[in-house]
Amino acid sequence: MNEMEKTNPLKIGIVDTTFARIDMGAMAVDELGKKFPKLPIKIIRATVPGIKDLPVECLKLLSSGCDIVIACGMPGKMPVDKQCAHEASLGMQMAMIKSGKHIVEVFAHEDEGKDEADYARLAQDRVRKHAVNAVWMCRFPEELRKRAGKGMRQGRNHVGAIE
């Protein structure tokens, strides 16, 4: 980490939704505090109604000085939910291109869980791992490079590299 990064806090936007069934944003904040207690991080949180509202809120945060944004959502299992999630993803791609900054999309789709408890575990694992990924992308990219091609997963156990 260079001297400027030591003095300037990393500004992380966290956007979640009221549609989600667990507080994904709070989990991201908690994980950042646990994993990076000495790193100066400024967190700016926002909550929107649903996943199609995420792209504009992410762009607003990136435009207002956030270095990266973590976008959290829990799309349902119906076809319309999958379509909305896809549209939100496309919107976030456009926001990244427009801002030149990353948005870490953290979606936990309802049909990924075997039951509600499994779904909650999957969402929690995914948001916590991606919160760490966001910091690594901005401040410690070598951590990601060390894991290239290793079959890392967010939401489930890692699957490992193919030998």
pLDDT tens for residues 41-60?
999 999 999 999 999 999 99
Mean pLDDT of 122-143: 97
Range of the domain at 40: 3-146
Q: Which of 14, 19, 46, 49 is nearest to 31 (CA)?
A: 14
Measured distance CA(49)–CA(45) in Å, rounded: 14
Task: State pTM to two decimals.
Answer: 0.92
CATH number at residue 68: 3.40.50.960
Instruction: Indicate whether 163 belongs to any domain.
Output: no
pLDDT of residue 2: 54
Look at residue 13 and tell me if it is in a domain.
yes
Q: What is the 3-state secondary structure (H, E, C) of 43-81?
A: EEEEEECCHHHHHHHHHHHHHCCCCEEEEEECCCCCHHH
Is 151 part of a structural domain of the chain? Answer: no
Per-residue model confidence (pLDDT) at position 103 = 98
pLDDT at 3: 53
Predicted pLDDT of residue 78:
94
Domain count for the chain, please give it: 1
Q: Render pLDDT for 118-129 as a digit per residue (tens, 0 to 9).
A: 999 999 999 999
In a domain, 157, yes or no: no
Q: Return d(Cα 138, Cα 102) in angstroms, integer.
A: 9
CA of residue 114 relative to chain centroid, distance = 22
pLDDT(85) > 80 = yes
Band the pLDDT of 152: cuts 50, 70, 90.
confident
pLDDT above 70: residue 69: yes
Task: Note whether residue 47 is domain-resident.
Answer: yes
**Per-residue tokens: 1:** 């980490």
For 30, counting Cβ atoms within 10 Å of its Cβ (0-12 exposed, 13-18 middle, 19+ buried), the class is: middle
Tell whether 158 is covered by a domain.
no
